[in-house]
Structure 1
Amino acid sequence: MTTSSVTPAAVPTAARPAHRDGNVLRWLAAYTASMVGDNVYWITLSWAAVQSGTPAQAGLVTAVSALPRALLMLAGGVVADRFGPRRIVIGSDAVRCAAVLGAAALLHLTSPGLWPLTALALVFGTVDAVFMPAVGALPARITRTDQLARVHGMRGMAIRFAGVTGAPLGGLGVALGGAAAAFGLAGLLIALSVPLLLGVRVRELPADGSATAGGTARRDLVAGLRHIRRHRVLAPLLLTIALGDLGFVGPLNVGLTLLADERGWGAPGMGWVLAGFGVGAGAASLLLAVRGRVPHAGRVIACTVLAGSVAIGALAYVPGVLAAVGVALLVGLLTGLSGALCGALLQTLTDPAYLGRVTAVAGLVSLGLAPLGMPLSAAAIGAWGTGPVFVAGAVVCGLGGVVALAVRDLRRAELPG
């Protein structure tokens, strides 16, 4: 697949905010359609796997994507930097669309069992390994540096929108036409992103620092890791992100389900708590999208991570559902704001030529290491109860705030304005 990179002058340089920039809005529409389709796909895959096998087998099918994604993520960052993120995102969405529509046709014609679903999950995981770094590298190529924070907030809103709408659309598709219809809907939504992306204009990058065809993939990867290590802010920033994800994922995914069961809140109560978290995180993304810049970003990251960690620990000790919803809203607001600011700093401080590789390192932590905390959290809750595990997660998360406070360059980091 070909792509047409244009010079920086071809990307609008007037003082136009990102939310009024047609180029950015085309990217946002493409990203939103792809993410909604992704959510529909995951709901449908889980349902189809449960219908075709045991719950344990269904769990294995849905987990298959994680292995190639973790193993290939760093290589995917090299690919994104070498061939350009726009080209990779378009190609990835085309492959994902073809795979899902192929599964829809197969399910419509026959009842194939678990193996085709496993193969589909494997393809998705492999493609995600290059798709995710490319998605992270693309914003810096479509807008000015001073608008990257706003774009990151807009991206966060798209993720929340996809999470809210994708599950009901997947359930509706399954109810009306079974897994075949739902997979077909997911494929069409992902396909919608391709023509939109074809209309997105991107900047060319200078040759210095970029992954080039003349070097080896290993050399490009080492150069990206060296860029992180030598940067005075990126290395501690990635450590802050890693500690935050490791402390957050276990308690707030597995732990919340077990906490709701332990307290007798039931599924409706857990749903309200999750809704509170989603509203808080969405509000944080909206704040960044509207303001475009938060002063003293490094200090705000440190304070919100520390305050968010306290709220995570407190969630296990609230007396009822209503209080839990309020604390969850606070958790979502604080962790959503810190996460959005971390992402915005990552975008603005990284040399654009390295963004695919830097995003791959951040993604490897979030999608490769952090999920390991889920089974550990479940086992720990079984041994010691929800309270100590939530507190332990809060401590790990809070260490990220300590790093942000302790490292002077990160503490003083500012977003361009």
Structure 2
Amino acid sequence: MGTSTTTTPAGRTAVAAAPAALPGPYLFWLAGTQAGLLGDAALHLALGWAAAAHGGGAAGLVLTAITLPRTALVLLGGAVADRFGARRVMLAGDAVMLAVTLALAAVSGGRGTPLWLLLSAAAVIGTVDAFYLPASGSMPRRLVGPGQLPRALALRQAGGQVAALLGAPLGGVLVAVGGLPGVALADAASFGVLLLVLLRVRVAEPEGLQPAGSGEAERGPARPGLLREAAAGVRLALRDPLLRAALLLTGVAAGALLPVVSLLAPLLARAHGWGAWSAGLLAGGQGAGVLAVAGLVSWRGALRRAGVGAAAGLCAASAGIAVLAWAADPVTATAGGVLAGAGSGLFACHLGPLVLGGAPATHLSRIQAVLTLVQSAALVLSTGLLGLLADAAGARWPTSLCALVTGAAGLAAWASTVLRRA
């Protein structure tokens, strides 16, 4: 399984070794991270369910209370992680969330789920995410070597996809059994696991990065303010040709790919009269496609030219979205969803290492913050516009537009010299 054999012209057999195993500390951290993702997915579902009891407007307000601080503070969060160290920021974030989830369980168990409690919890989650996500996104670069980065990121993506697929059903079961207090306690347990994992994992900061508190940082010249350091991360992303191209491509892909499953697939299913089960089938097919490609890349490794792999992924995703848009039955539509998921997985598995590997060691978390901001902004803008277009012309045409934009982005990536040679 782990090796392959080839025969040379001289008749001798050469053995090709399998890729080296990923470092133990990274796998240990990743296992803890997946536990946290499962707990978070369950809690998000429970918060949405509890908020829905107060009406649709209240549910939307709770979701906004998560996304707004996350988007507004993420650049500052990246600067904080680069200055003080990603591990320190993650330890602080997990400690805060452990306390918050325990408090949420206690208060909701005694007083129910008033709207002020849900909004307060959502605001804290969004704020912690703004600092935690850039730090967590930089960890693979801090724990694995450059040659193993594509496989490490692919394995992380596969784990995240599994957590997304299992988190919502798990949350539903926990809500049915223990309500919001039970889900909050389960999420608190996941944060406890993460704290223990991070206390065991030692992160060797990349060369050139001295977190605040080290002797070198204290004896060095005065550092600029955090807002200036956050702005420096944005300037670097705009100035570096590879990072600029990769982030632009990420924004286009986020705006055209992500709304297909979350927004357009359910609208298509309703328009065809297929029922809610078909919408779930489409989402499952897309997730299966992502998981299959991410698992393959984590096992065998990525293509040598990451830019070519990202372009090919977008072109494959474009074809899958087109099939989904014009499918006449749920089976064909699901096949399109699988192809779209496989393409998006191929894109992410190759572009992610380009962004993380192309960032200077001193700006790892800040570049991850810019990446998060680009994805979030593109998704917010495109989701609203695609929803309006679906109301005016039906779901098929905005889905076809997503296929067209994704294919054009893939061709543009193929034509880009800086991406093709990456």
TM-score, structure 1 normalization: 0.91
User: Counterpart in 2 of 1:303?
Assistant: 312
Aligned pair partner of 2:302 in 293, 296, 315? 293
Q: Letter of the aligned partner of 1:118 in structure 2?
A: L
User: Counterpart in 2 of 1:90?
Assistant: 91
Residues 140-149 or 19-28, more deviating: 19-28
- Contact kept in structure 1, 2:323 and 2:332, CA below 8 Å: no
User: Counterpart in 2 of 1:70?
Assistant: 71
- Contact kept in structure 2, 1:70 and 1:364, CA below 8 Å: yes
User: Counterpart in 2 of 1:36?
Assistant: 38
User: Counterpart in 1 of 2:355?
Assistant: 346
Alpha-carbon separation, structure 2, partners of 1:36 and 1:311: 28
Q: Does 2:256 correspond to 1:247? A: yes
- Contact kept in structure 2, 1:251 and 1:377, CA below 8 Å: no
Alpha-carbon separation, structure 2, partners of 1:285 and 1:67: 30
Alpha-carbon separation, structure 1, partners of 2:227 and 2:179: 45
Alpha-carbon separation, structure 1, partners of 2:106 and 2:312: 51
Q: Does 2:55 correspond to 1:46? A: no
What residue ranges of structure 2 are gaps of 5+ in the alignment?
1-16
- 1:262-320 Cα distance to aligned partner (Å, 9 max, x none): 11111111111111111100011101110123222211211221231232133111110
Q: Letter of the aligned partner of 2:337 in structure 1?
A: A
Alpha-carbon separation, structure 2, partners of 1:171 and 1:89: 28
Q: CA deviation at 1:141?
A: 0.9
Alpha-carbon separation, structure 1, partners of 2:18 and 2:162: 25
Q: 1:84-123 to 2 correspondence within 5 Å?
A: 84-123=85-124
Q: Letter of the aligned partner of 1:384 in structure 2?
A: A
Alpha-carbon separation, structure 2, partners of 1:118 and 1:397: 36
Alpha-carbon separation, structure 2, partners of 1:229 and 1:410: 15
Q: Letter of the aligned partner of 2:254 in structure 1?
A: D
Q: Identity, % of aligned pairs?
A: 34
SS of the aligned residue for 2:303 comes to: coil
Alpha-carbon separation, structure 2, partners of 1:226 and 1:59: 34
Alpha-carbon separation, structure 2, partners of 1:163 and 1:328: 16
User: Counterpart in 1 of 2:405?
Assistant: 396
Greater RCO (CA < 8 Å, at least 6 residues apart): 1
User: Counterpart in 1 of 2:185?
Assistant: 184
RMSD across aligned positions (CA): 2.0
User: Counterpart in 1 of 2:171?
Assistant: 170
Residues 123-132 or 222-231, more deviating: 222-231
What residue ranges of structure 1 are gaps of 5+ in the alignment?
1-14
Alpha-carbon separation, structure 1, partners of 2:387 and 2:361: 39
Alpha-carbon separation, structure 2, partners of 1:239 and 1:411: 15
Q: Letter of the aligned partner of 2:32 in structure 1?
A: A
TM-score, structure 2 normalization: 0.90
> Given the superposition, is the C-alpha separation of residues 187 and 18 from structure 1 closer, same or farther in structure 2, using an over 3 Å criterion?
farther
Alpha-carbon separation, structure 2, partners of 1:209 and 1:238: 26
> Given the superposition, is the C-alpha separation of residues 232 and 31 from structure 1 closer, same or farther in structure 2, using an over 3 Å criterion?
same
Q: Does 2:125 correspond to 1:124? A: yes
- Contact kept in structure 1, 2:25 and 2:143, CA below 8 Å: yes
Q: Letter of the aligned partner of 1:153 in structure 2?
A: A
Alpha-carbon separation, structure 1, partners of 2:232 and 2:269: 46
Residues 176-185 or 200-209, more deviating: 200-209
